[in-house]
Amino acid sequence: MNRESATPLIEMSNIVKYYTMARERTTILHEVSLTVNHGDFLAVVGPSGSGKSTLMNIIGCLDVPNEGSYKLDGTEIKGQSDNKLTEMRNKKIGFIFQGYHLLPKLTALENCELPLIYRGMSGKERKARALEALERVGLGHRLHHRQNELSGGQQQRVAIARALATNPPLLLADEPTGALDSKTGMEVLGMMEELNRAGQTIILITHDMEVAQRASRTVVIRDGVLTEQKRRGSHEAYARSHDGGQERLIEQA
């Protein structure tokens, strides 16, 4: 993870994503362009239906654009085979989800070892990598605890450690605090800030501007259009309208 790398980790140019049903085309992303450098901590914020999940799927090589260019660590994603996309996901991206996705019968250590099995690592190397990752997130004392023996915050830390164990250039976090209370959520975000200060590139997907403000960069997506905010603290305020419970973005005064 080199902050000084001249090649951006992510280069998206004029990305368009649409779906066709019953001969009608619905465009989800409209000519989205985005650059993420090594060492960035970027938040992508927007309400439900804004296109942020579709954008996340493309960033995570779970989907491909219909038009435009997406280069991940210098490799063009569009046109790659499913096997190549799987390889890119395994080597380049560590995923963190709202629901943790831990296997309940496995210990924290075993959950962290799981993705390394697919790398063909020896048991000794897997254990060392998983142990190091759990130590980084402050769970060296919970190695042999299972999911039902861990708090929500500890389960999310295990999920983060599992993502870190593969040593990916990018951590892609989808609403990582969504299932946590506010205090625990802020603790998890603080840990992610520490990882970023150590050089880890992070993209955080969220609907919550308070969460987004913990990142050093923010982009707002609305109706499939991406807008870059200038700097931390200059975001558009994100609010809920009391008219029908609709979410909306409002300009800060």
For the stretch 69-128, pLDDT in tens is 999 999 999 889 999 999 899 889 999 988 888 999 999 999 999 989 878 788 999 999
d(CA 25, CA 38): 35
Dihedral sign of CA atoms 36, 39, 45, 50 in order: positive
Residues whose CB falls within 8 Å of the CB of residue 244, separated by 6 or more in sequence, listed in order: none
Question: Which DSSP string do the residues of 67-92 spell out, in sequence order?
Answer: EEEEEETTEE-TT--HHHHHHHHHHH
For the stretch 53-81, pLDDT in tens is 999 999 999 999 999 999 999 999 988 99
Distances (CA, A) of 73 to 35, 47, 59, 99, 219: 11, 28, 11, 28, 20
Considering the four listed CATH numbers 1.20.1260.10, 3.40.50.300, 3.30.499.10, 1.20.120.1200, the one that applies to the domain covering 10-250 is 3.40.50.300
Determine the pLDDT at residue 97: 87
199 strand-pairing partners: none
Query: What residue spans define the domains of the chain?
Result: 10-250
Pair 190, 198: CB distance under 8 Å? no
The model carries a pTM of: 0.84
Distances (CA, A) of 189 to 160, 199, 215: 11, 15, 9
Quick one: average pLDDT of 223-252? Answer: 53
d(CA 136, CA 93): 18
Determine the pLDDT at residue 231: 54
- Quickly count: other Cβ atoms within 10 Å of residue 234's Cβ: 9
For the stretch 23-48, pLDDT in tens is 899 999 999 999 999 999 999 999 98
Determine the pLDDT at residue 180: 86
Determine the pLDDT at residue 239: 45
Determine the pLDDT at residue 243: 39
